[in-house]
Amino acid sequence: MPDPSAAPEPLLQIRALTVSYPAGAHAGALPAARATARPGARPARAEAHLEVVRGVDLDLAAGEILGIAGESGSGKTQLLLAILGLCGAGARLRGSVRYRGEELLALPAAQLNRTRGARIAMVFQDPATALNPYLTIGRQLTEVLRVHRGVGARAAERRAGAMLEAVHIADAARHLRQYPHELSGGMRQRVTLAMALIAEPQVLLADEPTTSLDVTVQSQILALLRELRERTRVAIVLVTHDMGVIAELADRVAVMYAGTLIEQAPVEALFAGPRHPYSEALQRCVPRLDGPPPQRLASIPGQPPDPAALPPGCAFAPRCAYRLEVCERSAPPLVQAAPRHWKACHYDEPLGRPGPAASAAAAATLAAGEVP
Amino acid sequence: MSANAGHAAAADVAAAAGGAAGAAGARLLRVQGLRVGYEVVHERARAQLVAVRDVAFEVARGQTLGIVGESGSGKSSIARALLRLVPAQAGQAWFLGQDLLQLRGARLQAMRRHLQLVFQDPLGSLDPRMSIAETVAEPLRVFEPQLPDADRARRVLAMLQAVGLSAAHLQRLPHEFSGGQAQRIGIARALIARPQLLLCDEPLSSLDVSIKSQIGNLLKRLQQELHLSMIFISHDLSAVRFACDRLLVLYLGEVVEQADRDSLFGAPRHPYTRALLQAAPIPDPRRARARRRVPLTGEMPSPLAPPSGCVFRTRCPHALERCARERPALRALGASLVACHRAEELDGAGA
């Protein structure tokens, strides 16, 4: 198997992708939008539209696991939904999403449906709502094959049984006749994975696939995802807020904040030497079980910005311990900082503690730690 | 608002509560033989679901007891039974000289003041039509109705400052707040009437990573400054390791291990505790991938059909025939209490 990173053309290529919603429609739906507006914040660029994903560029190679990390309101789920044209009513998409060179954003619904499920499949956070409660597991699994692959009923059933075994569900024949409510949470997530993978897609989009599961079941599902990638070479886009899950599974990581990509790097580089203060702070916030118990948890002061009232300049600046004066005026572009490592930050010195270049206000931000 | 003002406000609240706090380390709550069950319909027949079976523990004054377990382990049922939101089928819960589980009417109502709850969903736990001032003042209106308006307003403001909010927030409505701020409001409401025991049911679980640590730090600071006793319910091991002095590990309604924090994390003795610790993701790719681990197979069985003998034996890599036959009692081993037939043999075997 060739090195996936050496592939000449990415499987999925996203360029300057922007997703926006009419201001009224989305304001209540985003957790961050509930936050009170900061005085002096500039209004969102498109007056009537709120941009929840802002100019994202990303490539996905065959067989790789790309982790997209971010907190709620960062735009990570909207980015995923945009790839499949599943954004909510009123969404406006700009930019480009290409699958093997074919532009998906321009596709009419009927053609997009042929890609969805067959070439690019998705699993969701909550397996209970992703499954139809009125249909048996078998019916839901075979439907994918009959719609996308035109497989006959009996052959589809055989394939469905084999697929359940592939996701380590024992006694497949019995489970095919059961309804979703008869299965446990972990089993349901295995079933949605089987459904997503039964038509042998090239890309699997996974939105917080283990968040609703217990920790012992989460580790089973992570092991399963790893195994499925090895066996089928499916590329996985893994969206999660959990840096622990990213560390366990991803090959490469893209970190999102306020709708933009702020850092992108191979997983080991991102954890060993983050180049963006938000990535660094996010890692510090994850308490670890090794080492002595902390007296105090590291936190990031303040809260993510309201997309309707983004601060001028860098969206992270008000919470940033390294901020410079320029950060409050201009948003830094994503630039290459090292081989395969990009960051969107004006601060160019090594991170660790704010250097002399960081302003006094930034040091105060760090010291306060816990301002509401 | 500066951090100092917050500390001063908390100290103020602490001083006011001081008289009732009693000696630190003395026992505040003692639960024995607690059993909680629900009547359910299963396969078209009535069935008894036992959510909590024979649970016993103590909470010392000024200490935080963590209750850890996965969904279905019974941890929230324990909290609900103590708050008398669901009936207990058996057991006692001695608290301030009375059995909580036997209280009725006015005495139960009076007791609620001393036992307050912080919820998992901070926004869902606030009345959307009540201003923050009204929400936080409500327990005072109920438990101290004779308090003059000016005093009440002063206490509300001091409490809000203690949780990191300010006078500017008083007249706002819940929807104007983020999840982290709403949780601060929930904590203020729980603490305003100076309860003896604070129950926190997954207080950090719905919050974003960066906010989670803010609220975790706040709870710990208040606990220390107000000498609060707490029960901290969570499935998140790193959160309980930070917040708790002592821990109870639950599996399928039963306590499988009980120990002080350092013993539990340093020398876990029950195979389930070990599995939980191993399953937690490590936020370090090299170490995460280098570690050797045997993930637990299967999932927690249905509480409608619990296994015979040891509750954990269907998933336990060390189960023997005896484990199916005989239910292991919770017994002392070193500084811990553990319910496992093989605890001694497995101890130190790095199992």
Complex-level ipTM: 0.83
Task: Answer yes or no: is B53 within a domain.
Answer: yes
Among B205, B221, B251, the domain-final residue is B251
For A244-270, the pLDDT digits (tens) are 999 999 999 999 999 999 999 999 999
User: Would the pTM of this model clear 0.95, i.e. be above it?
Assistant: no
**DSSP codes of every residue in A261-309:** EEEEEEHHHHHHS--SHHHHHHHHHS--SSSSPPSS----SS-PPPGGG
Do B138 and B101 lie in one domain? The reply is yes
Do B190 and B306 lie in one domain? The reply is no
B299/A304 CB distance under 8 A: no
Task: Answer yes or no: is B256 within a domain.
Answer: no
Q: What confidence score (pLDDT) does residue A354 get?
A: 52
Query: In chain B, what residues touch A216 (CB-CB under 8 Å)?
Result: 70, 275-276, 279, 295-296, 299
Q: What confidence score (pLDDT) does residue A217 get?
A: 87
Q: What confidence score (pLDDT) does residue A106 get?
A: 85
A71/B208 CB distance under 8 A: yes
Do B128 and B227 lie in one domain? The reply is yes
Size of interface A-B (CB pairs under 8 A): 166
Write the DSSP symbol of residue A116: B
Q: How far apart are CA A186 and CA B312, in angstroms?
A: 17
B283/A271 CB distance under 8 A: yes
Secondary structure class of B248 (helix, strand, coil): strand
How far off is chain B from A311, nearest CA to CA, in Å? Answer: 17
Q: What confidence score (pLDDT) does residue A363 get?
A: 52
Query: In chain B, what residues touch A287 (CB-CB under 8 Å)?
Result: 213, 238-239, 241-242
B164/A370 CB distance under 8 A: yes
Query: In chain A, what residues touch B296 (CB-CB under 8 Å)?
Result: 216, 219-220
More confident residue, A106 or A34: A106
Q: What confidence score (pLDDT) does residue B24 get?
A: 59
Q: Are B338 and B270 in contact (CB under 8 A)?
A: yes
Query: In chain A, what residues touch B286 (CB-CB under 8 Å)?
Result: 268, 271
B3/A370 CB distance under 8 A: yes
The ranges assigned to domains in chain A are 274-368
B281/A218 CB distance under 8 A: yes
* % of chain A surpassing 90 pLDDT: 59
Do B247 and B309 lie in one domain? The reply is no
Q: Are A260 and A54 in contact (CB under 8 A)?
A: yes
Do B106 and B233 lie in one domain? The reply is yes
More confident residue, A147 or B307: B307
Q: How far apart are CA A100 and CA A82, in angstroms?
A: 17
Min mean pLDDT across A4-18, A39-53, A146-160, A232-246 is at A39-53
- Partner residue opposite A215 with nearest CB, options B164, B216, B235: B235
Q: Does A254 touch chain B (CB under 8 A)?
A: no
Do B56 and B126 lie in one domain? The reply is yes
For A309-361, the pLDDT digits (tens) are 899 999 999 999 999 999 999 999 999 999 999 999 999 988 986 544 444 55
Q: What confidence score (pLDDT) does residue B15 get?
A: 44
Phi, psi (rounded to 5 degrees) for A254: -120, 130
Structural domains counted in chain B:
2
Q: How far apart are CA A164 and CA A92, in angstroms?
A: 38
A185/B71 CB distance under 8 A: yes
How far off is chain B from A360, nearest CA to CA, in Å? Answer: 16
What string of pLDDT tens digits covers the 351 residues of chain B? 444 444 555 544 444 444 444 555 689 999 999 999 999 888 788 988 999 999 999 999 999 999 999 888 999 999 999 999 999 999 999 999 999 999 999 999 999 999 999 998 888 899 999 999 999 999 999 999 999 999 999 999 999 999 999 999 999 999 999 889 999 999 999 999 999 999 999 999 888 888 899 999 999 999 999 999 999 999 989 999 999 999 999 999 999 999 999 999 999 999 999 999 988 888 899 988 888 777 788 888 888 889 999 999 999 999 999 999 999 999 999 999 999 999 998 876 544
Instruction: Quote the domain boundaries for residue B287.
Output: 270-346
Q: How far apart are CA B312 and CA A322, in angstroms?
A: 49
Q: Which amino acid belongs to residue A107? A: L
Q: Across the strands, what pairs with B260?
A: B246
Among B251, B284, B301, the domain-final residue is B251
Q: Is the pLDDT of residue A48 over 60?
A: yes
- Partner residue opposite A372 with nearest CB, options B165, B208, B289: B165
Q: Which residue has the tokens 């999925």?
A: A12
